[in-house]
Structure 1
Amino acid sequence: MTQDDAPGPGPSRPGPEPLLSVRDLSMTFPGGRGRSARPVRAVDRVDFDVARGETLGLVGESGCGKSTTGRMIVRLLEPTGGSVTYDGRDISHLSQRELRPLRREIQMVFQDPHSSLNPRQTVARIISDPLLVQGSTATDARRRTTELMELVGLIPEHIDRYPHEFSGGQAQRIGIARALATSPRLIVADEPVSALDVSVQAQIVNLMDRLQRELSLAYLFIAHDLSVVKRVCDRVAVMYLGRIVEIGPKERVYTAPAHPYTRSLLSAVPLPDPVGERTRERITLLGDPPSPASPPPGCTFHPRCPKAQQLCRTEAPELRAPAPGEARQVACHFPEAA
């Protein structure tokens, strides 16, 4: 997909209708007990699209709201605000009965492969369960499970083994096979390689890339490792404290980041060139991220931003193109020049 073809997050862009459209998506959790408890705004008015066959990377620090966003999209959580539109249909508040047919088309791969697999069930049962729920016969489900085992690089003869008999990489392949069982069009991958060894990460990333080409899948790829995101994604959305602060084609975001937070994240990614690693600029942020239960006024990044000015402390920036014709958008009053 080229830069010109890549969809932006705005609601009025030209081109074909996206497969997934998220508008003003918000999630507020109730606070704890006591008078001083405050609600936690985990996700705050998030906008983005995912085109058919595209991979959008969603990156940011732990606790920024990435996984919560993914869980709302697959409706493991119901949004408290905004909308999730899949293939032209608003699915934000559908009942479980109404969602059942859509479960075929939207699936999720979880971060920890072993904790997401039932240790008391065989691989055959784990992978075939979605098919049985959707009405397949036991014979058809087992045949499809064998096909999926081969597709993700597992030995079909191991179909009756239990999850503890597999390595972490093999267990994640089982999770991917389960997600593929109903032939989905969109997969939300919530940090699918972060719990794996580096060598195994490469295998899983290559597997997902191959499956996308063969099956025309769209991915929302949630991660905190920017080197992995650069390898697999067409576009990148950077999240900070529940909001998207920069989104656009990965070439623009990686080579000329416009938001100070994006620049700081990229400066922490190790370079393979020792000379470049020693001489490049490192951006060290001050302090810790604010609490989502008590976010700062104005731009939520201003307490840690080296470029913050008075305007940043009083007015929250809108997500907009930093220059006419730009294919990306940035939520910053003083974005970096390209």
Structure 2
Amino acid sequence: MSHSNAPAPTPLTDSTLLSVRDLTKTFPGRRRLGRPASRVRAVDGVAFDLAAGETLGLVGESGCGKSTTGRMLVRLLEPTAGTVAFDNQDITHLSQRQLRPTRRHLQMIFQDPYASLNPRQTVSRILSEPLLIQGKSARAARHRAAELLELVGLNPEHLDRHPYQFSGGQAQRIGIARALATGPRLIVADEPVSALDVSVQAQIVNLLERLQHELGLALLFIAHDLSVVKRICDRVAVMYLGRIVEIGDKHAVYDAPAHPYTQALLSAVPLPDPAAERRRERIVLLGDPPSPAAPPSGCSFHPRCPKAQDICRNQRPALAAVGREGRQAACHFPTDH
């Protein structure tokens, strides 16, 4: 029986920028006394396409494999199996030297801005470094660094400051500016607002939304805040224990979720209408997510699923079309609204 989590085959279009198939990442587990080390499958057969200029949200509980997926896409982590194709070129096994021409078009924004910025370097150096690597002169790189600061809403006069002299929101703007330095076509944003105050989160989301539209960027937006994802994304992919369990247009997924896990996640999102909030039934999942080192047989969600039956315990469901909106869910008993 195939364990592929790939969507039903569809022909690539001219607008497809990123194509991911059967992406898998396995880490060595802890060695136990007298036993060989177990293997932890953090990402298990993930597949999706991302069009030029599109924003795809990748959501799920902590530890579901979202960040690991994002890091494999930009080759900060090497995939164990599967393929990543960028602009119709398979980049999965390219050497770092072969990857360099593509690297400028494929950038990443990290969760913790202070940890991702070198504290010993000035902002000018941080923003100039990728440009110098691309062959620009020091003068041209500094001029571009000033433009980048202005683009993300910071004062170009602050080029010679260090990261610790900025607030968290300002430091994240610098991280965004660095990601934009080489003129990328795709940015992987790994929980870019989760480390920030709520008031600052909205400002950063507004900035990303503006830049995405102005520059025509494709964006993979990794997050656990479903309200933020609904606002900024065109489509949503829901991950559970290393696999995508539902993917589709955000309106289809949010208004009529097909997978029981998606339904549970969305039932916890606060509603702006207090009366509607009181009437809504909250779906409480039993227990904690299983360990990736010892995943359940069959559907990995079945130990917590209120719909689980014998087939769920014995047979892993593949992503399949649900409804007419191009949505897919990996469930034996999806809710077809």
- Residues of 2 paired with 1:57 and 1:138: CA distance? 37
CA contact (8 A) 1:188 1:219 kept: yes
Which structure 2 residue ranges, 5 or more long, are not aligned? Answer: 1-5
| Per-residue deviation, residues 134-187 of structure 1 (Å, max 9, x unmatched) | 111100100000000000000000110000110010000000000000000000
CA-CA distance at 1:36 after TM superposition: 5.1
SS at match of 2:245: strand
Q: Could you tell me which amino acid in structure 2 is paired with residue 186 of structure 1?
A: L
SS at match of 1:118: coil
Q: For residue 130 of structure 2, what is the aligned residue in structure 1?
A: 130
Q: For residue 271 of structure 2, what is the aligned residue in structure 1?
A: 271
Q: For residue 3 of structure 2, what is the aligned residue in structure 1?
A: none
- Residues of 2 paired with 1:67 and 1:158: CA distance? 31
Q: For residue 254 of structure 1, what is the aligned residue in structure 2?
A: 254
Alignment of 1:94-243 (within 5 A): 94-243=94-243
Q: For residue 82 of structure 1, what is the aligned residue in structure 2?
A: 82
- Residues of 2 paired with 1:125 and 1:33: CA distance? 43
Equivalent in 19, 22, 37 of residue 21 of structure 1: 19
SS at match of 1:114: helix
SS at match of 2:92: coil
- Residues of 2 paired with 1:326 and 1:209: CA distance? 24
- Residues of 1 paired with 2:196 and 2:79: CA distance? 30
- Residues of 2 paired with 1:330 and 1:168: CA distance? 37
* Runs of 4+ displaced beyond 4 Å: none
Q: For residue 4 of structure 1, what is the aligned residue in structure 2?
A: none
| Per-residue deviation, residues 260-291 of structure 1 (Å, max 9, x unmatched) | 00000001111111111111010000000000
| 2:17 equivalent to 1:30 | no
- Residues of 1 paired with 2:131 and 2:268: CA distance? 43
CA contact (8 A) 1:22 1:46 kept: yes
CA-CA distance at 1:31 after TM superposition: 1.6
Moved more, 10-19 or 276-285: 10-19
Q: For residue 10 of structure 2, what is the aligned residue in structure 1?
A: 12
| Per-residue deviation, residues 103-146 of structure 1 (Å, max 9, x unmatched) | 11000000011111111110001111111111111001000000
Q: Could you tell me which amino acid in structure 1 is paired with residue 331 of structure 2?
A: C
TM-score, normalising length: structure 2 = 0.96
Structure 1 pair 273/183, CA: closer, same or farther in 2 (3 Å)? same
Q: Could you tell me which amino acid in structure 2 is paired with residue 22 of structure 1?
A: V
- Residues of 1 paired with 2:249 and 2:57: CA distance? 10
Q: For residue 333 of structure 1, what is the aligned residue in structure 2?
A: 332
CA contact (8 A) 2:59 2:237 kept: yes
Structure 1 pair 123/10, CA: closer, same or farther in 2 (3 Å)? farther
CA contact (8 A) 1:109 1:175 kept: yes
SS at match of 1:263: helix
Give percent identity, aligned residues only.
74
CA-CA distance at 1:17 after TM superposition: 4.6
Which structure 1 residue ranges, 5 or more long, are not aligned? Answer: 1-7
CA contact (8 A) 1:10 1:47 kept: no
CA-CA distance at 1:198 after TM superposition: 1.0
CA-CA distance at 1:207 after TM superposition: 0.5
Moved more, 190-199 or 8-17: 8-17
